[in-house]
Amino acid sequence: MVMSLATTSANAPRGNHLLGQWPQEELARVLPHLEAVELLKGRVLFEAGTPSPHVFFPATSIVSLIYTTHSGASSQVAMVGPEGLVGISGLMGGESPASRAVVQRAGLAYRLRLNTLREEFQRGGLVTHSLLRYMQSLITQMAQAAVCNRHHALERQLCRWLLQCLDRQHGHSELSVTQELIANMLGVRREGVTEGAQRLQAAGLIRYTRGHIAVLDRPGLEARACECYSLLKLDFQRLLPQAVTETHATTSAAFAPVAVQA
């Protein structure tokens, strides 16, 4: 059973930027339908082309949006963390998502029925405005990923990807990722990721052990990243300023979310 926030002593969900932007009146309408869930790493939230009745607002979790070709090759086109929501395509007229949504980092999220979000979106006001701005930032992220994958060296892409993960972990400098996962996200061979990670480690920027990467020198990593990272960060500051300047990693202690096989 998933716990509804309306049945707890918590006044509001904590940890997600979009929900944190909503006025109290609008949030009060949604709270009875909002559920706190613990997303497990590797769990598929959506399959491409398959309708889903829910959307997810990550709080401490991170979700990758992945496109897969008919031949089985795949690449991450966007990353969603506490700054946004997963399943926003349901507000854009589509009945099913075009990408696969996979939990990259386990953690808390808030689940809401798509129809409930649609009703709130159609009311207009600040909720609609915040969702439209997030849509724009997500489209920009996808466009930048296409350019990055085509024109930038793998090592620079790797730096950009690691930094994007760090930005969504709010202060944590260690990532629980494998070389195979990174290769799948970037749509490259695993050997290329291994070589890039070895060079970054030799330069003292990261420390890599099996399944873990610790960032030792973030400024140095930013200096090696491709321009896409700084461009995306500037766009986020413009469209979602609070998502960049505020820390939203704290989750409410008033409820205990349960793990769901979403």
Residue written as token pair 């300047």: 245
pLDDT for the residue numbered 262: 45
Q: Which CATH number fits domain 153-225: 1.10.10.10, 3.40.50.2000, 3.40.50.920, 3.90.1150.10?
A: 1.10.10.10
| pLDDT of 4 strictly over 60 | no
pLDDT of residue 69: 87
Residue 5's pLDDT band, with cuts at 50, 70 and 90, is low
The CB density around residue 6, as the number of other CB atoms within 10 Å, is 13
Amino acid identity of residue 27, one-letter, is L
Q: How far apart are CA 249 and CA 256, in angstroms?
A: 16
Residue type at 185?
M
3-148+241-260 topology per CATH: Jelly Rolls (2.60.120)
Q: For residue range 185-221, what is the model confidence (pLDDT) as tens digits? A: 999 999 999 999 999 999 999 999 988 999 999 999 9
DSSP result, 163-194: HHHHHTTTT--EE---HHHHHHHHTS-HHHHH
Write the single-letter amino acid at 129.
H
Tell me the whole-structure pTM to 2 decimals. Answer: 0.86
Per-residue model confidence (pLDDT) at position 257? 45
Domain boundaries, the chain: 3-148+241-260, 153-225
Q: Which helix (H) or strand (E) holds 140?
A: helix 126-151
Report whether 140 contacts 232 (CB < 8 A).
yes
Q: Are strands 54-58 and 3-4 parallel, antiparallel or unpaired?
A: unpaired
> Hey, is 94 helix, strand or coil?
coil
45 φ, ψ to 5°? -85, -40
Token digits for 252? 């409410």
Q: How confident is the model at residue 12 (pLDDT cuts 50, 70, 90)?
A: low
